[in-house]
Amino acid sequence: MRRILWITGALVILIFLAAQANRPNYDLPSVRAASTFDAQMHPSRQISDTLQQSCYSCHSAQADLPWYGHVWPASHLLQKDVRRGRARLDFSTWSNLSPEMARIRLLSACQMMREAKMPLWYYRPLHPGSTPQPEQIDAFCAWAQSLPAGAQTASLR
């Protein structure tokens, strides 16, 4: 019985080590400073800091990947989250959005933060301090709602 447990344990370790050979590809291209959210929208320092602290890990190419982002199976789960997050909202390629879509994305981000849907529930325990405080959310939402609607938003660029 002891021998079977030892062999099983060795096989599990070998499979785990073999899985590490398949490195995730986060597709994080180099960032053009002129096309980022900060360069396009010119938010206050408070807004910018809130977004960097709470959103940029999944919603930009400036992701600061934690150590477990390079270890299977967490790396593949994180890769999926980053790709999905950047597909919905990418602060690194903000210049690709029309002014109307940019405003819609900001208002949607406001709603997601107010409803505590962002950052994701399983992200928060691993990243203490990533959840914005109510006053930070209020400041962001007030800023997003103060942006001009429609064609007037083009003047922000």
- Spell out the long-range contacts of 102-110 with Cβ–Cβ below 8 A and sequence spacing 24 or more: 102/40, 102/41, 102/153, 103/144, 103/147, 103/149, 103/153, 106/144, 106/147, 107/144, 107/145, 109/55, 109/140, 109/144, 110/137, 110/140, 110/141, 110/144, 110/145
Residue 75 lies in a domain: yes
89 CB contacts (<8 Å, ≥6 apart)? 55, 59, 105, 108, 109
Residue 19 lies in a domain: no
Residue 12 lies in a domain: no
35 CB contacts (<8 Å, ≥6 apart)? 92, 93, 94, 95, 96
Find out whether 90 and 32 touch, Cβ atoms under 8 Å.
no
The pLDDT value recorded for residue 18 is 64
Alpha carbons within 13 angstroms on the beta-carbon side of residue 79 total 13
H or E element in which residue 37 lies: helix 37-41
The residue range of the domain holding 46 is 40-156
The pLDDT value recorded for residue 72 is 81
The pLDDT value recorded for residue 155 is 44
Q: Is the pLDDT of residue 7 over 60?
A: yes
Percentage above 70 pLDDT, the chain: 86
Total domain count, the chain: 1
Residue 114 lies in a domain: yes
> Whose CA is closest to 41, among 150, 151, 143?
143
The pLDDT value recorded for residue 24 is 65
| Mean pLDDT within 105-132 | 91
Find out whether 135 and 45 touch, Cβ atoms under 8 Å.
no
| Mean pLDDT within 40-49 | 94
Residue 96 lies in a domain: yes
pTM (2 d.p.): 0.76
| Spatial distance between the Cα atoms of 73 and 79, rounded to a whole number of angstroms | 10
Q: pLDDT tens across 12-28, in order?
A: 777 766 666 666 665 66
